[in-house]
Structure 1
Amino acid sequence: MAEKEIVTDTKTVYEGPIFSVETQSVQLYNNQTSQRDIVRHVPAISVLAMVDDDHIILEKQWRATIGDFILEIPAGKLDERDFDAPHHAVVRELNEELRMSAGTIEKAFGFVETVGFSDAYMHLYVAKDLQPIAKSDQLPRDLGETMDLITISFDDLKEMFEAGKLNDQKTVTAFLYWAYLRG
């Protein structure tokens, strides 16, 4: 039977702008004690940006965490303006990253990204009827953020998935949702 742990002490050991690290002392079901290190992360959004029913836009960008380029759907963290309305972050990220606006934006669902060590939560949205944004209305990208935008078909993304070449969690989740929608 699954048993709940009891937190007996909590200490923040790192506090940054996007995440903090917390150490917890916990009492286990058998009265032994253990330690949990937890990354507390700002919630985020991700966007399945649909060009049409058969194509989406992916970003190819450098990720220092893996020391390589990765293909991924647009995403971004929520800030104080977005906590009650994550939809606003979707509009902002589409502008900043894709230089697009969407005629329709619908929430698909949310998920915990890495429950083994983090409380990071991501909302997945679907954006359709994409339109380019005039240069004068474009928001600045994050400092140092560069990317290539790639329009990819469902069939090509499916091939990548089947070959094990689609390895970004939010993008895999979005692809599986897209496959579900297609029946």
Structure 2
Amino acid sequence: MKTDILCQWKCFSVEQTTQTLPDGREVEFTTVKHPGAVVILPLTEDRELVMVHQYRPAIGRWILEFPAGTLEPNEDIQSCAKRELAEEVQLEAGQWHDMGELLPVPGFCDEVQHLYLAKALTSCPGDPDDDEVIEVVKLTRAEFEQKVANNTIQDAKTLAAYFKARMMNFI
């Protein structure tokens, strides 16, 4: 299989390969290669959801989402989740629950997002990345669901993590 790297930026790349499909045909396919990410649903003792109101330059606006971040090279997934929780919302968790994986855009990207519920939260130091502008927000389940219903919360990974937590009886 021949692979051409069309673009490389930080830890992401765009690669074109010749692939053989299950029916035997060979096709040229372009894939965004991604190292993977974590998505954390922090839940307080009062059962509030800790979110970030974050400015996203790619869409030129603020969105409400759960803390999340990209894996660093050779970084353990759980370590990444702990790092991102501290960096984005200055919290650490005494309890972690693995909620599985998400494939956010499998039509053109190989990214896997690892979902976690974080409980038994306490404050800790942490600084956002240089390119992050973040405000921490706490919402009740009813407030969250109202913001989903009125289209205020649109982030797919946030919606999926919330849905998984509900289906697993965590919230």
TM-score (norm 1): 0.84
Does residue 156 of structure 2 align to residue 169 of structure 1? yes
Q: Whose RCO is larger (CA < 8 A, sep 6+)?
A: 2
Q: Does 1:113 align with 2:100?
A: no
Counterpart residue number, 2:121: 130
Structure 1, unmatched stretches of 5+, are: 1-7
Q: Percent identity?
A: 26
Alignment RMSD = 1.9
**For 1:124 and 1:38, how far apart are their aligned partners in 2?**
23
Equivalent residue number for residue 19 of structure 1? 12
**CA apart distance, 1:81:** 4.5
Where do 1:20-99 residues align within 5 Å? 20-26=13-19, 29=23, 31=25, 34-52=27-45, 54-82=47-75, 85-99=76-90
Aligned mates of 1:157, 1:58 — CA distance in 2: 10
Partner SS, residue 124 of structure 1 = strand
| Partner Cα distance (1:108, 1:38) in 2 | 26
Q: Deviation at 1:27?
A: 5.0
Any stretches of 5+ residues in structure 2 without a counterpart?
A: none
Alpha-carbon shift at residue 127 of structure 1 (Å): 0.4
Count residues in correspondence: 169
Which has the larger Rg?
A: 1
Which residue number corresponds to residue 144 of structure 1? 131
Give the TM-score taking structure 2 as reference length.
0.89
Distance 2:140 2:71 in 1: 29
